[in-house]
Structure 1
Amino acid sequence: MITESPTPLRKPDSLRSQVENYLREAIMNGRFKPGEKLSERELCELLDVSRPSLREALRKLEAEKLITMVLHRGPMVSSISLAEARDLYAIRALFESYAVSGFAKLASDEAVARLGDVVQTLKDEAASGDRKRLLAAKADFYDVILNGCGNALIKEMLLSLLSRINLLRATSFSSPDRLPESLKEIDQLYAHIKARNADAAGKAAVLHIQNAEKAALDVLSQEQPLALPTPS
């Protein structure tokens, strides 16, 4: 039963994006669980929006594979299986290590300095305990790298996977020992970038993703996620 009462969403020009953002964040932070059925009536009442506006937002989240539309049942929060998680981490390791290596070689000194600022912000948000801000800081970290890696196609491909990557990122951070280790790995990665050691930076990126994968798969195994329902 949905009982939360946020401020109603009022601006027509940005209504769909506001609904999308609310639902996306609710899924990322565990407010809505994998396999959970979403009541359109309750969501409309909660967000003070019409059903057509809600359904537009749900279609966008379905395209991001965060929502699955199930015949005769309606929208449900998608689950990521262990096999899908492994596939996503394999793609991440391949693309992000390439991007990190490119950034170390090609990024301007200003971009490297900006990355250092973001690393510090990431540490600050980790200390704050705010999961939403922590994930936003991690997204900023990769945004700087993707904008400075010299390969627009890599950025485009990773952005197409962003929602599911962030969902797995949130899962790995839920492991109690993962965050401190993650910050150490990012410090090491940034040190290699600052030294303009592209090869070492790429290897550090792969190690970081492999460790995140282990943490996330451990959590997913314990939760025994349901298989994705067959879409309508």
Structure 2
Amino acid sequence: MDATPVKRMAAPLRQEVTEALRRAIVTSEFSPGERLVESTLCDKFDVSRTVIREALRQLETEGLISIVPNRGPEVATLSMKQAEDLYEARQALESKAGALFAERATDAQCTELLSALNEVKAAVADGDPNRNLAVKDRFYEVLLAGSGNAEIQRMLKIVNARIQMLRMYSLASPDRGAHTVAELTRITAAAAVNRDPDEAARACNDHVRNAAAAGLAELRRILEG
């Protein structure tokens, strides 16, 4: 039996559109509860309905989109309890990842984490929220890779896909950027310079706790407003 040809360009296009739509949701181009009309998305990204539907299905599995009966897909809305649960999960996983990085990371990964920290500092100085998210994502990619634990990476990917929207809330908090730089500097020093697992875990724990306080306060204000 002849093998079925593989459509080599389909997956990269779907991934590209999925990432673009994910970013639009995270940066509040599409607001929580807003309907996502397939025809509008097709025009926006200049792709077929098939590609849009595949992207929507992927983002539904990540919890960023909800399929509502008689309405179709819309941007998911997080309750306070869901947001609190996500931060708790992130706190536990990132603390462990920080400790493992201190124990397992290579010298090259330590150097890469220092470089990623410098990118965060530059982005915060520029005041660009979109760039802030991108460089923080890069910082965590390096941290998680250096942990050497694929399951922590997998679980945090699922958690962070939903918590991305909350990160925009925490970034809206006054002076949060400066605090973020200080907290990530502490994590980097503990994990990549001093190779201290206990301090790295504490630093990660404190960073997520502070981000949660800022993000949940802003979410509460929005929900009550």
Q: Provide TM-score, normalisation by structure 1.
A: 0.87
Take 1:17 and 1:152, find their aligned partners in 2: how far apart are those partners? 21
1:7 corresponds to: none
User: Does the Cα contact within 8 Å between 2:89 and 2:159 map onto a contact in 1?
Assistant: no
Q: Which runs of 5+ in 2 are unaligned?
A: 1-8
User: Does the Cα contact within 8 Å between 2:90 and 2:159 map onto a contact in 1?
Assistant: no
2:109 corresponds to: 111
User: Relative to 1, partners in 2 of residues 1:46 and 1:155: Cα closer, same or farther, differing over 3 Å?
Assistant: closer
1:145-179 superposed Cα distances (whole Å, 9 cap, x missing partner): 11111322211211222311322222211212211
Of 165, 168, 193, 1:167 maps to: 165
2:221 corresponds to: 222
Matched positions, count: 216
User: Relative to 1, partners in 2 of residues 1:58 and 1:195: Cα closer, same or farther, differing over 3 Å?
Assistant: same
Take 1:63 and 1:49, find their aligned partners in 2: how far apart are those partners? 21
User: Does the Cα contact within 8 Å between 2:167 and 2:215 map onto a contact in 1?
Assistant: yes
Take 1:13 and 1:205, find their aligned partners in 2: how far apart are those partners? 35
Alignment-mate amino acid for residue 210 of structure 2: N
User: Relative to 1, partners in 2 of residues 1:12 and 1:101: Cα closer, same or farther, differing over 3 Å?
Assistant: closer
2:182 corresponds to: 184
Alignment-mate amino acid for residue 194 of structure 2: A
Take 2:10 and 2:89, find their aligned partners in 1: how far apart are those partners? 37
User: Does the Cα contact within 8 Å between 2:166 and 2:219 map onto a contact in 1?
Assistant: no
Take 1:149 and 1:47, find their aligned partners in 2: how far apart are those partners? 36
The sequence identity of aligned pairs, in percent, is 41
1:88 is displaced (CA, Å) by 0.8
Q: Provide TM-score, normalisation by structure 2.
A: 0.90
1:181 is displaced (CA, Å) by 0.8
Take 1:209 and 1:219, find their aligned partners in 2: how far apart are those partners? 15
User: Does the Cα contact within 8 Å between 2:80 and 2:219 map onto a contact in 1?
Assistant: yes
Take 2:216 and 2:194, find their aligned partners in 1: how far apart are those partners? 32
